[in-house]
């Protein structure tokens, strides 16, 4: 009888244990989101904006930041990262990195994307930003730039931490940007295995990639708090979907839910639609551009003390008449022709004293005038013959000529008339057909006009700008460059078996890097070894930058130029 209570207690404990095992585990909250990748339009959503633990889906942003750094030229695929003790001590899943070890960036990318290695993700963040804290701040800033408004990062690998959260909607946005912003790296997410430098790694997403037709990525994630997460991309014909599932209860259940969501969503979207690519954030498109430095020559840097170029010179000043004073502004100018005409008709007209007569052409006779040309010649000759004031002269022009000083000789006349300056007159307008101008006899006084002053040269040569004269100035070096100066370089992009393949490469790079290759010339050289695609008409700095970008993508590139 004493053995029955003991047996009863054993049976009771066994039943309790079985009942506990049969109880379901506490499941993480479930969320799902499906979008048309071509337009970004939602197809299905369930708790899509609920903030949940993203687990290793965080590494999608870590990889996005690494791809962006490569695009900017900050790092290259062969850049070597030093592993810190913090990165080496991260919990599994991990690649097995050791503190102090150096490894190329390409292997860290493969380990983080394919194996979902936590130590590789931490090494990426520390190598790109200096510390994981600084890197997570950049990750959150990038999330805001991409439109992920309900996402915040606290580490680079996705292990559960307070304040580290995202949503199914935001992770689908990030998956779409990975597909469109970095198509050259997107095939990394469809690999089943890869060489990670120190080990061969297998993909955590290989089951879904193998089971679902058209699936080509992207990333899995699991923690106890998050459950089984997956962001997937699949294509059927012209259609492409991107979907995210949070809170799966197992890998198989998560993959089954994802397959059902995709199967139900493909028939709901049109076969052909206008593709609307997502806009890349500003910090992503800022590229580092190197400018070729040209050493300045001596002539270009030293000042020119002996030469001064004037933009405009002032008009020449009016020459004063010899032995005559300039009349005041208020004094009226006397019209000699009108005075002579009035003198021939009536009495001489009074002339204002102190008037200087300007030089002008000989006046033509007014048609029908009462004064004959011979009378005018006689009046002028009589006035000039007198050295003193012609008060008693019988000339009709005496009152006019008496008010002016003796004119200076014309510089263009012969010696016979050099001592006499031409008398000024104003040409009257012809009222009818002008009469022919009479020819002057030999030895007679002829009124001449002076030439217009020659325009001053825009370049004024000064004898010296400093102390003393510079008799023999140093010769200046004149440097001339053609309009395309500095753009005589190019790049060679390797050898290809067909010209069509080489043409496609040149066209694709021109479309992808329009800022770099937009003005470059494209040609395919047919050599004995194959078809060689080339870009020409580049500066030296642009050619070197182009080759750096190509080498970062493991593509051959050689700078061509003199």
The Cα–Cα gap between 278 and 179 comes to 10
The Cα–Cα gap between 232 and 209 comes to 9
The CA distances from residue 93 to 90, 100, 197, 202, 245, in Å, are 8, 20, 16, 12, 21
Q: Are 190 and 122 in contact (CB under 8 A)?
A: no
Q: Where are the beta strands (DSSP E) in 462-517?
A: 489-492
The Cα–Cα gap between 323 and 407 comes to 8
Q: Are 195 and 251 in contact (CB under 8 A)?
A: no
Which tokens belong to 237?
């014909």
Rg (CA), the chain: 49
Which tokens belong to 428?
């009257």
Task: Pick the closest to residue 228 from 210, 251, 206 (CA basis).
Answer: 251
The CA distances from residue 110 to 19, 102, 186, in Å, are 44, 15, 12
The Cα–Cα gap between 394 and 74 comes to 104
Phi, psi of 195 (to 5 degrees): -90, 115
The Cα–Cα gap between 385 and 378 comes to 11
- Residue tagged active-site, from 56, 84, 166, 404: 56
- Residue tagged active-site, from 68, 84, 115, 116: 116
Which tokens belong to 94?
């991990």
Bridge partners, 488 (sequence order): none
> Is 116 an active-site residue?
yes
DSSP assignment string, 283-306: HHH---------PPPHHHHS--TT
> Which residue's entry shows tokens 């790079």?
509
> Is 59 an active-site residue?
yes
> Is 56 an active-site residue?
yes
227: left (phi over 0), alpha (psi -120 to 50) or beta: left
DSSP state, residue 271: S
CA atoms within 13 A on the CB side of 543: 22
The Cα–Cα gap between 21 and 25 comes to 9
CB burial string 164-190: b at 16+ within 10 A, e below:
bbbbbbbbbbbbbbbbbbbeebbebbb
The CA distances from residue 484 to 281, 299, 305, 488, in Å, are 33, 22, 31, 8
The residues annotated with a catalytic role in the active site are: 56, 59, 116
């Amino acid at each position: 009888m004493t053995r029955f209570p003991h047996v009863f207690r054993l049976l009771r404990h066994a039943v309790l244990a079985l009942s506990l095992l049969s109880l379901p585990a506490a499941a993480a909250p479930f969320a799902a989101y499906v979008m048309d990748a071509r337009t970004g339009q939602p197809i299905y959503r369930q708790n899509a904006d609920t903030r949940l633990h993203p687990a290793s889906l965080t590494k999608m942003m870590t990889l996005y930041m690494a791809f962006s750094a490569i695009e900017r030229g900050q790092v290259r695929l062969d850049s070597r990262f030093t592993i810190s003790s913090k990165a080496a001590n991260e919990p599994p899943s991990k690649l097995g990195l050791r503190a102090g070890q150096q490894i190329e960036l390409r292997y860290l990318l493969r380990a983080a994307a394919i194996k979902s290695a936590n130590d590789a993700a931490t090494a990426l963040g520390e190598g790109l930003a200096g510390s994981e804290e600084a890197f997570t701040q950049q990750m959150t800033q990038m999330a805001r730039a991409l439109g992920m408004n309900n996402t915040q990062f606290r580490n680079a690998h996705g292990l559960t931490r307070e304040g580290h959260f995202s949503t199914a909607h935001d992770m689908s946005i990030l998956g779409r940007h990975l597909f469109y912003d970095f198509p050259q790296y997107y095939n990394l997410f469809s690999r089943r295995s890869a060489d990670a430098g120190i080990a061969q790694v297998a993909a955590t997403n290989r089951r879904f990639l193998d089971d679902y037709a058209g699936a080509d990525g992207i990333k899995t994630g699991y923690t106890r708090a998050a459950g089984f997460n997956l962001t997937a991309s699949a294509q059927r014909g012209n259609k492409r979907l991107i979907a995210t599932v949070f809170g799966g209860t197992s890998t198989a259940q998560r993959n089954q839910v994802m397959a059902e969501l995709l199967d139900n969503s493909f028939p709901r979207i049109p076969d052909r639609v206008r593709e609307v690519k997502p806009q890349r954030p500003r910090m992503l498109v800022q590229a580092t551009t190197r400018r070729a430095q040209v050493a300045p020559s001596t002539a270009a840097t030293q000042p020119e003390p002996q030469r001064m170029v004037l933009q405009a010179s002032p008009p020449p000043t009016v020459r004063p008449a010899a032995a005559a004073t300039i009349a005041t502004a208020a004094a009226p100018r006397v019209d000699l022709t009108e005075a002579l005409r009035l003198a021939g008709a009536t009495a001489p007209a009074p002339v204002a004293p102190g008037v200087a007569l300007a030089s002008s052409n000989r006046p033509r006779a007014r048609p029908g005038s009462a004064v004959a040309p011979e009378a005018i010649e006689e009046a002028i000759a009589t006035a000039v013959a007198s050295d003193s004031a012609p008060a008693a002269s019988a000339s009709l022009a005496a009152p006019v000529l008496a008010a002016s000083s003796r004119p200076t000789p014309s510089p263009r006349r012969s010696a016979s008339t050099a001592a006499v300056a031409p008398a000024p007159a104003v040409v009257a307008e012809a009222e009818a057909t002008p009469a022919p101008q009479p020819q002057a006899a030999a030895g007679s006084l002829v009124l001449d006009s002076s030439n217009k002053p020659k325009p001053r040269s825009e370049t004024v040569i000064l004898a010296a700008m400093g102390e003393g004269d510079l008799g023999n100035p140093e010769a200046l070096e004149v440097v001339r460059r053609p309009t395309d100066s500095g753009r005589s370089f190019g790049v060679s992009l390797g050898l290809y078996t067909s010209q069509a393949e080489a043409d496609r490469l040149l066209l694709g790079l021109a479309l992808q890097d329009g800022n770099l290759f937009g003005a470059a010339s494209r040609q395919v050289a047919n050599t004995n070894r194959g078809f060689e695609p080339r870009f020409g008409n580049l500066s030296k700095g642009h050619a070197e930058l182009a080759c750096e970008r190509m080498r970062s993508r493991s593509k051959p590139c050689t700078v061509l130029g003199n």
